Structure 1
Amino acid sequence: MRDTSNTDFWRHKRLEQMTPTEWEQVCDGCGRCCLNKLEDWDTGEIAWTRVRCRLLNDQTCRCSNYPERQTIVPECLPLDATAVHELTWLPPTCGYRLLAEGRELYWWHHLVSGDPDTVHQAGISVRGRTVSEEGMPLEELEDHLADWPGEDPHRD
């Protein structure tokens, strides 16, 4: 029997116990957390848009300046174990959210599949389906509402 304690760390550790390297690996690379969202102040309901942060690369679904993101984009929220439990807008497919809820990662997550492209192949990521927020007036965000997959994606 092989020792999976290091390779399958997400199955054995709570988010709060992960090293910084392990924490970063939990990100599935979908890019959805870097999309602009609209929240109804009365109901708390979140409306997703296809408008991406100006730092999100539309093809890689990764931040183009991750180390400096919060300086460049002050409204960029740091994601940590506490925030994962409090934020209501994390996608239902988000690796952090799934683990915080005690659920398994989906088959397309790179930690399960071994391939960082499966999130794109499964159609979960925002690759090629976004527009940049640069130069876009806030009142135009409503013109770019989007339905993203993943309310309950099929597991293989």
Structure 2
Amino acid sequence: METPFWKTKTLEQMSPAEWESLCDGCGKCCLSKLEDEDTGEIYWTSVGCRLFDAQTCRCSDYANRLARVPDCVGLTPQNVRTISWLPSTCAYRLVAEGRDLYWWHRLVSGSAETVHEAGISMRGRVKASETDLAEPEDYFDYMLDDEP
């Protein structure tokens, strides 16, 4: 049996298809996060990006997301090593740190549904879309105690 690509290649060595396949579809990247300007601490919310489809846990316009959402962050092999808010379970983060993927990741399980079945994804847990909020202060109503 051949060793999986994420165990033999660096992020920089991956093909575009391999890179994209690392996304586990949890949807956590697409949640709004608040940053304390004094401490740099990140606070998670249950507010999804305006393009986030809470049922599929995918972007509804992935190809154009960076143009349509000014604060959307496109992940690269370089920035996944420095973005502090990447989820602890994120495959990009895990591979960058030399760690293996979890059993529920679709590349391991063979199914895109296991991330949802394992309760890792945001399916059913997004309480609002950023388009629902009128004022920046409204995000405070959706703050989470911990990383989801």
TM over 0.5: yes
Q: Give CA deviations for 1:27-54 in whole Å, capped at 9, x if unaligned.
A: 0000000100011122211100000001
Partner of 2:132: 135
* Residues 36-51 of structure 1 mapped to structure 2, 5 A cutoff: 36-51=32-47
Q: TM-score, normalised by structure 1?
A: 0.90
Unpaired runs of 5+ residues, structure 1, are 150-156
TM-score normalised by length of structure 2 = 0.94
Letter in 1 for 2:130: E
Unaligned residue ranges in structure 2 (runs of 5+): none
In structure 2, the partner of 1:69 is 65
Larger mean Cα displacement after TM superposition, 16-25 or 133-142: 133-142
Query: For the residues of structure 2 that align with 1:140 and 1:116, how far apart are their CA atoms?
Result: 33
Structure 1 residue runs of 4 or more that deviate by more than 2 Å after TM superposition: none
Higher mean alpha-carbon deviation, 65-74 vs 129-138, is at: 129-138
User: In 2, Cα distance between the equivalents of 1:29 and 1:103?
Assistant: 18
| Range with greater deviation from structure 2 (134-143 or 99-108) | 134-143
SS in 2 for 1:51: strand
Q: How does 1:1-156 map to 2 (within 5 A)?
A: 2=1, 4-5=2-3, 8-130=4-126, 131-136=128-133, 137-146=135-144, 147-149=146-148
Question: 1:135 deviation in Å?
Answer: 3.5
**Aligned residues: percent identity?**
58
Distance 1:87 1:80 in 2: 10
